Every structure is written in structure tokens, then in C-alpha cells.
């Protein structure tokens, strides 16, 4: 079905997992040439796809480490006596405008704009200092020369160009770059703020869900994203399972939504945990801008922007967990926030599950597949074998029973190349990159 | 009594999770606290309605077991008062759980000891200040203990101790527990 190549591309290839190495976000850049990952330790690792070369066809399109930098450090909020985690919650790439690459990375409180640029030349032949940088004695200088740029080993530098801070009282869960290329928004549990990429000392509040009395709080914002084409439109999801579409032209404060998407709850499915499992953990516009995809604990839903009453399509990710919600609540897994992604043509959607499984749903053929990201199953050039979970009754030979699933191995973050069938799957502290090879 | 036992277990776990999240790195997560509150509320509703059902059917055995369970139940926030009722108030209790709160019409004197101090606006169901519902409110003690631990950590660290300590004593925990 699908060729795969395992590129566990982290610098530290540990067998034991240190918590700082746990990947917390994965994002391809708009061209797909770069892939960024953020981890719990506040680091960002950027991979670059190798140029295809005739000399080494088998290494065509492999991703290798391009740059690593410490994006965020742990901080202490003295006023609230709280530690601010350095974990990178989201990374978003800016569209490329010149030779340098720009990305936004955020932790719970601060968004940073990073510039990643290459340096492959350096000036040599200074008059006032020698090659080691030591200052020359002016008395020894008898001639003047013009420094020339000489080639050097490629160096990739990352520098923080902007720091957007002090705008969020609650924890930032998402950032989204506007199609206008000039603004972006950052979202916490209760507020969405709009920034200009050039201005760090002020931001505009667009949505404020904080009630006058916090005891009246019933709903928080879980995610927000700008429409891919319409720079005036954005959507945000809530813990109640609804999505609101807002038009920034209506008013400065977008508390009133222009569209409200919510599916009425199925009363037969009601349980103690109905509120938890209906909370939306991710929302993504399709590349076309016509559809919205949402992920809650057990399903992925595709919504047509023109139909607010119910989703266009609903896909069961791991419905066999519905009967296990009590145990999943006990071990905290029920609070896991899974993300979801579209492929380039919006025909296939992908999301993660437990036991290092991830699922793909083909919207056209209605076929779905479960695959596993693990070292044992992913030797280079191996074909990934579909996995099956046995939901009851007799377990077949290659099936795995629900009770044997490893809930500590969860795939929360995945990425899909913007135009090709290349996917990045983060399994705790390992990154897997799979490619579809057409020979 | 599977449902009530499950409901009680869920409530106890929710409380445990909320307390452990206080000491988590990064501070209290609003979303998680809200979800836990909602779960507790669901479980509490189901617990009360299940108890009401069983009490209406007049099973004395059930009453015995639920009165024993009132100890951990007292740790929940705004239902502290209804749960402390004597068993003679059982039907009142059941009604109260389903409606907005109102003062007991029957023998208020007997319950004065267990009731919170004068509650003229009981029907508003807003959670009172911590001091009003304190007494042997177990969570409060634990919170203070944690504050003291944190204070100890702050004193030991080289951080900006003076101001941090001041603000620590004044910092209220975000009140995300939703009353109904």
C-alpha cells in the first residue's frame, strides 16, 4: 500500500525517553521543503528535505536536520507565583519571501518570531584585524585592501526577530498566520488576540469569552485558525464541541459569530464523560477553504462552511474506547488532545490514536486504514502494514485487543506535506517520516 | 448501586486530579479544571437523582450506605449544606438537588449547627467566600499545606522572594468550579 522510510531524525537517539525530548508540535512549511518540530524542552528542530540527485536516487527526498535552536526557556511569573513551561505548543511557518525562513513558535505565554538563514560566505581580509579576529597594531598596517567574501562551511543560524509577550493571562493553545502575511492571532483559553508581525508592544483583542464572574464559566476556547484565503475570516473551537466562524469586518470585537457549527448531542451516547469527549482538540481549515475539520476525543468531523447544523462527514477514530471512558478518565488519557491534518488535495484526513497507531480516512472512497509508527515495524523501505483492533469476540491472528493497547504511546501530532504524500508522525520522542513512493 | 458508586468514584477522582493539578508545572490549566468541574457536576447530578430514586422506593439500606458516604461527599463545593442533612430530611434533600437552592422550611434549628452561617441569598447558589464554607473543609487544609510548601521552596530559591511571598498569600485560586 504505502512505501515507508523511517527517519528517526532526532539528534539524541535515546532508548529511554527523557521528558524534554517529547515532541509537542509538528509542522511542514508551505513548500514542504522544511519540517519543524517543537518539544517539551523548548527546543525547535528543523529538518530539510534533501535535493533529489541522480547520483543517490535511494536518498531522494530524505529529511535531515537543518537547524536546532532553543526557542523558549522556562520562566517564572513572580506575580502569580507560577512557573511558565517552556514546552512549544505550536509552530507556524510564514510564507517564504526571501532566502531566509521565518516561523512563529509559542509556549503557554509568549510567541516568538524566528528567522532561520544560511551563511555560506564570510568576509576575509580585514585591515584592522587579522584572520583570528585579533586587532592589528595600526603601526604595522602599510597597505589597504578590500575584504572579500570567501566561501565557508554552510552555517544555519536561527535568531529571534520578535518576541510577542504579556498579552495572555491564560495558556496559549494556538497561533495562526493570516493570509495577508502581515498579521497573526494567538489564542488562549478565553481570548483571541490579533498581532501585527512588526509590532510587539501591542495586540488587539478580538474574542473575549471571559465571563464577568469566573464561576459562571462554562466554555473555553480550544483552538483558532484563520481562513486560508479570506483574511477577514477565522474560526475557533470550544470545549463544548462547537465552532464559531467570525468575520473581522463586522466589528472590532468579534464576540458575535457569523456562523455557529454544532451538532446536537446524541442522547443515547450520554455518559458522565460526554462533556470531556465532545471538547474539540483541533480545528483545521481545508486547503480549499471550503471545509473545516474538527477532532474530538473519539471522532474526526468534516464540516461544510455552508452547513452549520451538522457535520458533512463523521469518522470514528477509535470507537472501541467508548466503553473504556471510565478507565481513560482514571489514567488521564481522556484529556489527551489529538490533532488532525488534511492532505494537500483535501481528499484524505489523518489523525493519531493510541499504541502509536494513526488513522487515515479517504473522503472519496470512504476507506480508512490504521497504521503503526514503531521501530520494529518501520525498517527503511518497508511497506507499512495495516493494523486492526479487535473489538470483541474472537481475536484474529494479527489483530490487537483493546486491552493490550499501550495508552502511554499516543500520537497527538502529525503533519502532511502540502503537496506530496509525505507524512510526519510524532510518537512521544521519536519522529517518523513516511513517504509514498511511486516507482 | 452501581451508578452511585461510580458517580462517587468519579467525583473523588475529579477532586484528586484538581488538587494534583495545582502542583503541576505551568500552573492550573483552565480547560482541564473546567472539564473536571463538569464531570463532577454530571456525577453529582446522577448521584443525587440515583439517591432520590432509591430513597423514594424507601430502601433503608441505601440510606445507611449513603450516610456513610457523606464524609467524602462533604468535600464537594456548593452541595456541602444539602448533604449534611439529617436522614429525616431525605425527601427535602432529593428535591433540593434538583432545584435551585432554598432555605429549609422544616426544622431549620436542627440544622443550624451543620449549616453554613446565615445564608440570606441561598437561592442565588453563588459559591460563598472560602471563609464562610471553611470549617472542616478538607480541601482547604490541603491547599494551605501546599502554599506552605511552595513558600518554603520560594524561600530557598534565590528568586525575588519578598514580593513573591506577598503575592502568594493574596493569590486566589481561579474559581472555575461551576455552580448550578
Which element (helix H / strand E) includes B169?
Answer: helix B161-170
Least confident of A55-59, A85-89, B38-42: A55-59
Tell me which DSSP letter residue B117 carries.
S
pLDDT in tens, A378-396: 777 778 889 989 887 777 8
Structure confidence at residue B60 (pLDDT): 55
Q: Closest-CA residue in chain A for B173?
A: A80
Model pTM?
A: 0.76
Cβ-based neighbours of B99, under 8 Å, separated by 6 or more: none
The mean per-residue pLDDT over the stretch A332-337 comes to 97
Q: A191-196 and A399-401 as β-strands: parallel, antiparallel, unpaired?
A: unpaired
Percent of chain A with pLDDT strictly greater than 90: 75
Q: Is B21 in CB contact (< 8 Å) with chain A?
A: no
Locate B129 and state its grid cell: 467566600
User: Does the beta-carbon distance from B27 to A83 stay under 8 Å?
Assistant: yes
Q: Indicate whether A272 pLDDT > 50.
A: yes
User: Does the beta-carbon distance from B31 to A83 stay under 8 Å?
Assistant: no
Please write down the HEC assignment for all residues of chain A.
CCECCCCCCCCCCCCCCCHHHCEEEEEECCCCCEEEEEECCCEEEEEEECCCCCCCHHHCCCEEEEEEEECCCCEEECCCCEEECCCCCEEEECCCCCCCEEEEEECCCCEEEEEEEEEEEEEECCCCECCCCCECCHHHCCCCCCCEEEEEEEEEEEEEEEEECCCCCCCCCEEEECCCCCEEEEECCCEEEEEECCCCCCCEEEEECCCCCHHHCCCCEEEEEECCCCCCEEEEEECCCCEEEEECCCCCCCCCCCEEECCCCCHHHCCCCHHHHHCCCEEEECCCCCEEEEECCCEEEEEECCCCCCCCEEEECCHHHHHHHHHHHHCCHHHCCCCEEECCCCCEEEEECECCEEEEEECCCCCEEEEECCCCCCCCCCECCCCEEECCCCCCCCEEEHHHCCCCCECCEEEECCCCCEEEEEECCEEEEEECCCC
Nearest partner of A24 among A410, A421, A317, A285, judged by Cα: A410
Which element (helix H / strand E) includes B142?
Answer: helix B138-156
Residue A226: how many CA atoms within 13 Å on its side-chain side? 23
- Which of the residues in chain B have pLDDT under 70? 1, 59-180
Least confident of A26-30, A39-43, B26-30: B26-30
Q: Is B177 in CB contact (< 8 Å) with chain A?
A: yes
Tell me which DSSP letter residue B76 carries.
S
The size of the A-B interface in CB pairs under 8 A is 89
Structure confidence at residue A328 (pLDDT): 96
Please report, to the nearest 10 degrees, the dihedral formed by the alpha carbons of residues A272, A278, A282, A285 taken in order. 180
Structure confidence at residue B55 (pLDDT): 84
Q: Is B160 in CB contact (< 8 Å) with chain A?
A: yes
pLDDT band at A60 (very low <50, low <70, confident <90, very high): low
Q: Indicate whether A211 pLDDT > 60.
A: yes
Percent of chain A with pLDDT strictly greater than 70: 94
Q: How many helices (H) and strands (E) does chain B have?
A: 8, 0
Q: Are A88 and A112 in contact (CB under 8 A)?
A: no
Give A25 or A14, the one with higher predicted confidence: A25
To probe the interface with B, which of A75, A81, A267, A297 has the most B CB atoms within 10 Å?
Answer: A81
Q: Indicate whether A348 pLDDT > 50.
A: yes
Q: Is A282 in CB contact (< 8 Å) with chain B?
A: no
ipTM (interface pTM): 0.87
Mean pLDDT for chain A overall: 91
Q: A399-401 and A388-390 as β-strands: parallel, antiparallel, unpaired?
A: parallel
Structure confidence at residue A267 (pLDDT): 86
Max mean pLDDT range (A56-65, A290-299, A367-376, B87-96): A290-299
Q: A422-427 and A413-416 as β-strands: parallel, antiparallel, unpaired?
A: antiparallel
Structure confidence at residue B29 (pLDDT): 92
To probe the interface with A, which of B38, B159, B177 has the most A CB atoms within 10 Å?
Answer: B38
To probe the interface with A, which of B13, B34, B148 has the most A CB atoms within 10 Å?
Answer: B34
CA A325 to chain centre: 26
User: Does the beta-carbon distance from A83 to B26 stay under 8 Å?
Assistant: yes
Which of A82, A214, A275 shows the shortest C-beta gap to B176?
A: A214
Structure confidence at residue B54 (pLDDT): 83
User: Does the beta-carbon distance from B164 to A83 stay under 8 Å?
Assistant: no
Q: Are A308 and A294 in contact (CB under 8 A)?
A: no
pLDDT in tens, A423-439: 999 999 999 999 986 54
Q: Are A335 and A352 in contact (CB under 8 A)?
A: no
How many of the other CB atoms lie within 10 Å of CB of B137?
A: 15
Least confident of A91-100, A279-288, A332-341, B105-114: B105-114
Locate A307 and state its grid cell: 452547513
Structure confidence at residue B128 (pLDDT): 53
Least confident of A29-38, A214-223, B38-47, B152-161: B152-161
d(CA A45, CA A433): 14
Structure confidence at residue A397 (pLDDT): 79
The mean per-residue pLDDT over the stretch A193-197 comes to 98
Structure confidence at residue A255 (pLDDT): 83
The maximal CA–CA distance of chain B, rounded, in angstroms, is 63
Please report, to the nearest 10 degrees, the dihedral formed by the alpha carbons of residues A299, A302, A308, A309 taken in order. -50
Q: Are A337 and B31 in contact (CB under 8 A)?
A: no
Amino acid at each position: 500500500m504505502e512505501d515507508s522510510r523511517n527517519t528517526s531524525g532526532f539528534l539524541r537517539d535515546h532508548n529511554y525517553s527523557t521528558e524534554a525530548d517529547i515532541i509537542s508540535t509538528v509542522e511542514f512549511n508551505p513548500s514542504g521543503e522544511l519540517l519543524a518540530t517543537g518539544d517539551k524542552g523548548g527546543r525547535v528542530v528543523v529538518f530539510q528535505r534533501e535535493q533529489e540527485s541522480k547520483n543517490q536516487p535511494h536518498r531522494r527526498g530524505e529529511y535531515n536536520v537543518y537547524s536546532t535552536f532553543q526557542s523558549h526557556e522556562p520562566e517564572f511569573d513572580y506575580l502569580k507565583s507560577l512557573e511558565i513551561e517552556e514546552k512549544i505548543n505550536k509552530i507556524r511557518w510564514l510564507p517564504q519571501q526571501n532566502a531566509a525562513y521565518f516561523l512563529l513558535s509559542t509556549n503557554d505565554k509568549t510567541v516568538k518570531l524566528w528567522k532561520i538563514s544560511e551563511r555560506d560566505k564570510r568576509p576575509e581580509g580585514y585591515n584592522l584585524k587579522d584572520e583570528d579576529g585579533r586587532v592589528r597594531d595600526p603601526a604595522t598596517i602599510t597597505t589597504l585592501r578590500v575584504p572579500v567574501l570567501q566561501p565557508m562551511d554552510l552555517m544555519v543560524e536561527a535568531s529571534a526577530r520578535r518576541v510577542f509577550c504579556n498579552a495572555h493571562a491564560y495558556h496559549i493553545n494556538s497561533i495562526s498566520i493570516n493570509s495577508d502575511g502581515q498579521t497573526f492571532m494567538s489564542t488562549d483559553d478565553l481570548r483571541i488576540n490579533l498581532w501585527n508581525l512588526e509590532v510587539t508592544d501591542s495586540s488587539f483583542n478580538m474574542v473575549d469569552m471571559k465571563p464577568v464572574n469566573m464561576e459562571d464559566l462554562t466554555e473555553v476556547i480550544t483552538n483558532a485558525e484563520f481562513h486560508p484565503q479570506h483574511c477577514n475570516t477565522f474560526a475557533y473551537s470550544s470545549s463544548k464541541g462547537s465552532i464559531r466562524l467570525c468575520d473581522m469586518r463586522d466589528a472590532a470585537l468579534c464576540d458575535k459569530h457569523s456562523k455557529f457549527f454544532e451538532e446536537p448531542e446524541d442522547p443515547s451516547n450520554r455518559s458522565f464523560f460526554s462533556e470531556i469527549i465532545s471538547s474539540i482538540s483541533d480545528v483545521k481549515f481545508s486547503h480549499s477553504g471550503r471545509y473545516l475539520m474538527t477532532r474530538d476525543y473519539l471522532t474526526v468531523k468534516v464540516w461544510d462552511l455552508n452547513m452549520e447544523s451538522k457535520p458533512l462527514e463523521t469518522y470514528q477514530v477509535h470507537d472501541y474506547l467508548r466503553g473504556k471512558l471510565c478507565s481513560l478518565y482514571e489514567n488521564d488519557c481522556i484529556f489527551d488532545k489529538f490533532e488532525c491534518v488534511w492532505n494537500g488535495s483535501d481528499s484524505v484526513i489523518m489523525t493519531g490514536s493510541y499504541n502509536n497507531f494513526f488513522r487515515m480516512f479517504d473522503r472519496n472512497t470512504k476507506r480508512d486504514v490504521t497504521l503503526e509508527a514503531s521501530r520494529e515495524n518501520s525498517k527503511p523501505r518497508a511497506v507499512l502494514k495495516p493494523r486492526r483492533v479487535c473489538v470483541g469476540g474472537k481475536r484474529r491472528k494479527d489483530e490487537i485487543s483493546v486491552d493490550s493497547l499501550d495508552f502511554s504511546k499516543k500520537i497527538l501530532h502529525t503533519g502532511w506535506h502540502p503537496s506530496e504524500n509525505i507524512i510526519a508522525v510524532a510518537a512521544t520522542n521519536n519522529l517518523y517520516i513516511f513517504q509514498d513512493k511511486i516507482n | 448501586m452501581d451508578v452511585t458508586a461510580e458517580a462517587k468514584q468519579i467525583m473523588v477522582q475529579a477532586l484528586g486530579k484538581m488538587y494534583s493539578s495545582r502542583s503541576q508545572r505551568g500552573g492550573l490549566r483552565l480547560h482541564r479544571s473546567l472539564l473536571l468541574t463538569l464531570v463532577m457536576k454530571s456525577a453529582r447530578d446522577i448521584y443525587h437523582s440515583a439517591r432520590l430514586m432509591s430513597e423514594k422506593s424507601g430502601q433503608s439500606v441505601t440510606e445507611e450506605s449513603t450516610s456513610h458516604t457523606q464524609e467524602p461527599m462533604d468535600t464537594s463545593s456548593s452541595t456541602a449544606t444539602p448533604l449534611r442533612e439529617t436522614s429525616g430530611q431525605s425527601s427535602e434533600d432529593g428535591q433540593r438537588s434538583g432545584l435551585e437552592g432554598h432555605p429549609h422550611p422544616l426544622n431549620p434549628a436542627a440544622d443550624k449547627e451543620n449549616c453554613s452561617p446565615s445564608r440570606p441569598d441561598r437561592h442565588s447558589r453563588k459559591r460563598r467566600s472560602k471563609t464562610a464554607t471553611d470549617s472542616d473543609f478538607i480541601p482547604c487544609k490541603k491547599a494551605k499545606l501546599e502554599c506552605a510548601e511552595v513558600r518554603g521552596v520560594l524561600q530557598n530559591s534565590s528568586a525575588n522572594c519578598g514580593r513573591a511571598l506577598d503575592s502568594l498569600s493574596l493569590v486566589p485560586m481561579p474559581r472555575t468550579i461551576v455552580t448550578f
